[in-house]
Structure 1
Amino acid sequence: MTGVLLVDDHPLFRTALSTAVRRVRPDARIVEAPTLADAAARLRDDPGISLVLLDLRMPDCEGFTGLLTLRAEHPAVPVVVVSASEDGETVRRALSFGASGFIPKSASLETMSEALETVLAGEVWAPPVCTPDNDDGTSERDGASERIASLTPAQLRILVGLRRGRLNKQIAYEMGVSEATVKAHMTAIFRKLGVLNRTQAVIAAEALLLDSDAA
């Protein structure tokens, strides 16, 4: 039996996703989570989950942070992004961050079902999108995305803390670790991102944001 985790803070849309899943897998076991923290706990406690459908916008995560966190902690479980942010750049970046598919929230039930069939068959599904032929910074963003994707879950949390302007002691308190541990992680973060200081790390962290968040 396929275990599918629906991660979205809107109950009505979780219902719509559940309907799409059951069209493809009538015997699927549906598990729901309204926050990223709930989703992480479900995945830790339920080894039977074999697919995650994830919204990018929830109260406790921003941009691609949730996707990166789940992929880092559970690399064997495919994650499909289901989002109202449907522009080509968001789709491309989600796939570059490890999503197994991208389903626009505006998609019809038939399209959602087609996408789920494709992903459950082990393939990647994404909507046809128009991308510019000229290089408008895409290569640079791809490089930043790859470097951020190499961070561990703990390093990712610290990077998000840096972007939010947190001090080392504040990040340490929120994570339940020592300041020395945070500093050690920051050294690794700077190395992986190819930066020299906090300011440059914060600039690199902008790759985590959706374009509408950065605007």
Structure 2
Amino acid sequence: MDTRTADNADCALLSPGDCLPLARVLIVDDHPFFLFGITAILEQENLAREVATVASVADAVDDLRSRPETSLVLLDLTLQGEAGLSLFSELEQIGLPVSVVVISSREDEASVRAARSAGAVGFLPKSAGRRSLVRMVQRVSNGLLFYPSLPFPSLSPEHLTPRQLEVLTLLADGLPNKRICQALDLTEHTVKTHLKAIFTHLDVHNRTECVAQARALGLL
């Protein structure tokens, strides 16, 4: 999944806030008071034109199927009777590109890393304040990751070969492997080898996380 919707595909080139308000934000949480509070902040800060709420992964999938223009999902880790991270596999199966930020009362490093590995573009503890929420939405709306509690490796373009940078650029443009092969006149095996090396360099696990991490590090 790409980290951005088609409507804000150029936003990573802009300053924080230039892509706001988001067209639509979906909150997946089963705590009414939390839903009320975060909805109010998103509306008061003009971060989203529309905010919707659901209480389960199944309802979230149904909502996103009917409203694919959704720009951002705010997902609780622990929902009644199910794990919030299961949403990522559901989105992968239906091929729906939408950015997801995990918002949880759990703040341990294992939970944060689990969210990142699943494909979340950010993690915000529920104990965070209003400013942190605003800053998070500003960053992810510009195609950047939001993991303030995790150290990221200090990387530069020199850590990737020129060919790997070409593959990374085409990956960020949304090209599938076959199109990358055609553009660079490479075999599919070679492209997969380059992608594996890029993922290792950036310490990521999927294409969505790779593109978001590369932008956050200034490689794109």
TM over 0.5: yes
Match of 1:82 among 79, 82, 103: 103
Aligned length: 131
| Residues 27 and 69 of structure 1, relative CA distance in 2, 3 Å threshold | closer
Report Cα offsets for 1:108-167 as digits up to 9, x if no partner: 111111111111111110132479xxxxxxxxxxxxxxxxxxxxxxxxxxxxxxxxxxxx
Can you list the C-alpha shifts for 1:75-133, whole angstroms capped at 9, x where unaligned?
Answer: 410011001111112111211110011010110111111111111111110132479xx
Gaps of 5+ in 2: 1-21, 153-220
Tell me the equivalent position of 2:147: 126
Residue 80 (structure 2) pairs with residue 59 (structure 1) = yes
In structure 1, the gaps of 5 or more residues are 132-215
Please state how far the C-alpha of 1:69 moved relative to its aligned partner.
Answer: 2.5
Listed as ranges, the matches of 1:10-159 within 5 Å are 10-26=31-47, 28-62=49-83, 64-129=85-150
Aligned to 1:205: none
> Larger % of helix: which?
1
| CA distance in structure 2 between the aligned counterparts of 1:117 and 1:32, rounded to whole angstroms | 20
TM-score computed with the length of structure 1 as normaliser: 0.55
Q: Which residue of 1 aligns with 2:183?
A: none
SS at match of 1:49: coil
Query: Letter of the aligned partner of 1:76 in structure 2?
Result: P
TM-score when normalising by structure 2: 0.54
Runs of 4+ in 1 over 6 A off after TM superposition: none
Aligned residue in 2 for 1:7? 28
Name the aligned partner's letter for residue 144 of structure 2: E
Contact 2:25 2:48 in 1 (8 A): no
Checking the alignment, whether the CA contact within 8 Å between 2:28 and 2:57 is kept in structure 1 is: yes
Return closer, same or farther for 1:2/1:59 CA change in 2, 3 Å cut-off. Answer: same
- Matched-pair identity in %: 34
Aligned to 1:172: none
Higher relative contact order (CA 8 A, sep 6+): 2
Q: Give the C-alpha shift of residue 71 in structure 1.
A: 4.6
Question: Is the 1:2–1:25 contact (alpha carbons within 8 Å) kept by the matching residues of 2?
Answer: no
* Inter-partner Cα distance in structure 1 for 2:128 and 2:86: 23
